[in-house]
Amino acid sequence: MNTQKTDTSIFQTLRFVLVETSHPGNVGAAARALKTMGFSRLVLVRPRFSDVLVHPDAQALASGALDVLENTQIVDSIDEALNGCTQAAAVTARLREFSPQVLTPRQFASSWQQSHAAHQALVFGSERYGLPNEIVEQCDTLINIPANPEHTSLNLAQAVQVLAYECRMAVLEKAPLSEAENPIGFHGKPATVDQINGMFGHLERALAVSGFLDPENPKKLMPRLRRLFSRCHLETEEINILRGIANQMESLAGQAAASRKKTLP
């Protein structure tokens, strides 16, 4: 089990740059996409609406990510947006004849994760026109999302979500978040081999006294049950529950046997 703690500061080394966005709702949705994946650095280059960060559509679609929206930087040029970055990647569905190297989102994410503290940027074009060639030429990499060839154009916020997700997964595969960092779901104490074997012996006896298992002709019942439970990665509390079920089966089988004796002539 990997107990290495994830350095979440890596999420601050990647900025998401949106160029000349037309719809405030997409800016809000992009902010929400970033926050759900642990990112927060959003930069807008010449958005269509100067009040985009307080626009009702942006705030409505940010939905819980107003802090990301409030801290979004608005600049006048791509040069300002990329200031301090060591690398920039253009996200586009339209491939160029003379373009930088082309990567999938997953390939980019792996490369970014391995770059450690290097500050990088993902650059997204407008909903109407995409990215102009002069901006693509300033980028080291072109990222193409391998979508359905019959309809390759993603909504801007969807494209941001895809890239943010792949980058997050690249980090987690290297060092999974601890339960304190990612407290979603309950994680119990894994059962030991002795506990599991003890439970199986108990369950086998209970199945036998209940009549479900014929000890003289067991076939492959217990190996199949063991195979079934092996896929579950049993926890200690689950072992206790199963043994409690086995206890109840034995108790009911004993009561049934005692009842039958009383009715015998």
| Average pLDDT for 4-27 | 87
Share of the chain above pLDDT 90, in %: 58
Q: How confident is the model at residue 23 (pLDDT cuts 50, 70, 90)?
A: very high
DSSP letters of 77-114? Answer: SHHHHTTT-SEEEEE-SS--TT-SEEE-HHHHHHHHHH
Identify the pLDDT of residue 10. 87
Count of the separate structural domains present in the chain? 2
Domain membership flag for residue 186: no
User: Is residue 182 a part of any domain in this protein?
Assistant: no
Highest averaged pLDDT of the listed ranges 7-16, 31-40, 138-147: 31-40
How high is the pLDDT of residue 75?
A: 96
Element (H, E) at 120: strand 120-124
Residues 89 and 154 in one domain: yes
Instruction: Let me know if residue 216 belongs to a domain.
Output: yes
- DSSP H/E element including 256: helix 236-263
Residue 257's contacts (CB-CB under 8 Å, 6 or more residues apart) are none
CATH code of the domain covering residue 115: 3.40.1280.10
How far apart, in whole angstroms, are the C-alpha atoms of residue 40 and residue 250?
Answer: 57
| Residues 142 and 89 sit within 8 Å (Cβ to Cβ) | yes
Note down the domain range covering 197.
193-263
Kindly state whether residues 64 and 112 are assigned to the same domain: yes
Q: Are strands 42-45 and 73-75 parallel, antiparallel or unpaired?
A: parallel
pLDDT over 80 (residue 257) = no
Please provide the average confidence, as pLDDT, over all residues in the chain.
Answer: 87
Residue 155 lies in a domain: yes
Instruction: Assess whether 158 and 226 both reside in one domain.
Output: no
109 shares a domain with 31: yes
- Does residue 184 sit within a domain? no
pLDDT (tens digit per residue) in 206-242: 999 999 989 888 889 999 999 998 888 889 999 999 9
Q: Are residues 148 and 37 in the same domain?
A: yes
Residue found by looking up tokens 């063991």 in the block: 226
132 and 199 belong to one structural domain? no
Whether residue 113 sits in one domain with residue 214? no
By the 10 Å C-beta count (0-12 exposed, 13-18 middle, 19+ buried), 90 is classed as buried
153: three-class secondary structure by DSSP: coil
CATH code of the domain in which 252 resides = 1.10.8.590
156 near 30, Cβ under 8 Å? yes
Mean pLDDT of 68-83: 95
Residue 2 has pLDDT above 50, yes or no: no
Q: Are residues 170 and 197 in the same domain?
A: no
**pLDDT band for position 98 (cuts 50, 70, 90):** low
187 has pLDDT over 80:
no
Lowest mean pLDDT among 155-164, 188-197, 242-251: 188-197
For the cut 50, the answer to whether the pLDDT of residue 139 exceeds it is: yes
Q: What is the DSSP letter of 46?
A: S
Residues 125 and 217 both lie in one domain: no
